[in-house]
Amino acid sequence: MVQYNEGFTPPRPMVDADSLPFWQVMQETKQLHFQRCAECKELMHPPRPVCHKCHSFNMEWVPSIGKGKIYSYVVYHRPVHPAFKVPYEVVLVELDEGVRIVSNMIDCEPDEIYIGMPVEVVIDQVFEDLALPKFKRQNT
Q: Which stretch, 31-39, 57-65, 97-105, 121-129, contacts Zn ion (CB under 5 A)?
A: 31-39
Q: Which stretch, 3-11, 29-37, 83-91, 102-110, contacts Zn ion (CB under 5 A)?
A: 29-37
Asked if 39 is part of the footprint of Zn ion (rule: CB under 5 A), the reply reads: yes
- 30 or 55: whose CB is closer to Zn ion? 55
Q: What are the phi and psi torsion angles at 107 (to 5°)? A: -135, 15
Spatial separation of the C-alpha atoms in residues 24 and 130, rounded to whole Å: 8
Cis peptide before 87 (omega within 30 of 0): yes
Cα radius of gyration (the chain): 16
Asked if 54 is part of the footprint of Zn ion (rule: CB under 5 A), the reply reads: yes
Asked if 95 is part of the footprint of Zn ion (rule: CB under 5 A), the reply reads: no
- Cα dihedral across residues 37, 124, 6, 20: positive or negative: positive
Size of the site for Zn ion (CB under 5 A): 8
Q: Which stretch, 1-9, 48-56, 71-79, 110-118, contacts Zn ion (CB under 5 A)?
A: 48-56
Asked if 59 is part of the footprint of Zn ion (rule: CB under 5 A), the reply reads: no
Q: Which stretch, 56-64, 96-104, 108-116, 120-128, contacts Zn ion (CB under 5 A)?
A: 56-64
Strands 67-76 and 118-127: antiparallel
Q: Which of 1, 2, 51, 121 binds Zn ion (CB under 5 A)?
A: 51
Strands 100-103 and 118-127: unpaired
Query: What is residue 59's DSSP assignment?
Result: E
Residues of this chain that interact with Zn ion (CB under 5 A) are 37, 39-40, 42, 51, 53-54, 56
